[in-house]
Structure 1
Amino acid sequence: MSTTAPELNGRLGHLLKHAQARLAALNAEALEPFGISGRELAVLLVIAGQDAPSQARVAGRLGVDRTTMVAFLDTLEGKGLLARRPDPGDRRRNVVVLTDHGTDTLRRATAASDEAERRFLAPLTGADAATFRSALTAVASYDGPA
């Protein structure tokens, strides 16, 4: 960012854009050996965090439409990371579960992604990194007046 126009250095949108781009690059590099993207890691994390969720529930948790969710699941299923099965309680819907390979990949990819985040936050002290995360969480989840 040192080659950026000095007038932009204090602009929040500019800073967030460049910070996100740096984190995305670090994360992509960390996840490359596992053959998944950051968005695919998010899908796996949501699936692992629930007891056999439906496709619709996973889409809702991620805030993506059904068509996008189906594409993600098709890709991850093609990689052998998850399986879709009829819901035993309601055969009209499918549930998604991680395969053994998916569980192992999730564990290792999460560790690699965590390391990428540590590298991203390296310029900050531990306390500053925690404050940064807390501040981003507050801003991202704020639903007050515009």
Structure 2
Amino acid sequence: MTGDASTDAQTTLTSRLGYLLKHVHLRFTEASAQALAPFGVDGRELAVLAVLAADRPLSQMEAAGRISVDRTTMVALVDTLEGKGLVARRRSTEDRRRNTVQPTPEGQELLREAELARAEAERRFLAALSDTDTECFLRALRTLAGVQEQNGPVAR
């Protein structure tokens, strides 16, 4: 009888969205951490580098807004990246009262290499799904997160 109760409890849990999201998140976080470990950065630091390497120099606050972190967290992330020689704070060319944060050449190189490793880890993580299921899954996540739909299929 204990086996039946255990199976029922497991079925109850695995039918709950929160339970499933938590465990998928934990598995993906571990896979990402393993992929990024050789580069000495974590997923949040890589996200900051990616945002800072985008179209134009950004202030810490602009970058914080793009990745939805608070000011204190962003300062700590930038301090860590600066300590690793991956970003540098510079006076804005548009407004001398403002500083921007930009990846250093080392940061740009690490970003290129770590992004390849991150993308490969993501591909392996999603390999249990067909290409169609992967696209549907990511589209559903974007919808639930309130994120604009991206153009084109997911790279596999």
TM-score (norm 2): 0.86
Instruction: Pick the structure with greater CA Rg.
Output: 2
- Percent identity over the alignment is 54
The residue that corresponds to 1:108 in the other structure is 113
- Which residue of the other structure, out of 54, 72, 85, is the alignment partner of 2:59? 54
TM-score (norm 1): 0.91
Separation in 2, partners of 1:68, 1:15: 27
Question: Gaps (5+ residues) in structure 1?
Answer: none
Q: Which structure's relative contact order is higher, taking Cα pairs within 8 Å and 6+ residues apart?
A: 1
Question: Gaps (5+ residues) in structure 2?
Answer: 1-6, 148-156
The residue that corresponds to 2:151 in the other structure is none
The residue that corresponds to 1:19 in the other structure is 24
Correspondence 1:63 to 2:68:
yes
| Deviation (angstroms), 1:6 | 2.3
User: Equivalent residue of 1:80, what SS?
Assistant: coil
Note the alpha carbon deviations across 1:12-57, whole angstroms, 9 max, x for none: 1111000011100000000000000001111011111131111111
The residue that corresponds to 2:104 in the other structure is 99
Give RMSD over aligned pairs. 1.4
| Deviation (angstroms), 1:109 | 0.6
Correspondence 1:89 to 2:94:
yes
Separation in 1, partners of 2:96, 2:73: 22
The residue that corresponds to 2:80 in the other structure is 75
The residue that corresponds to 1:122 in the other structure is 127
Count of residues in Structure 1 that have an aligned counterpart in Structure 2: 140
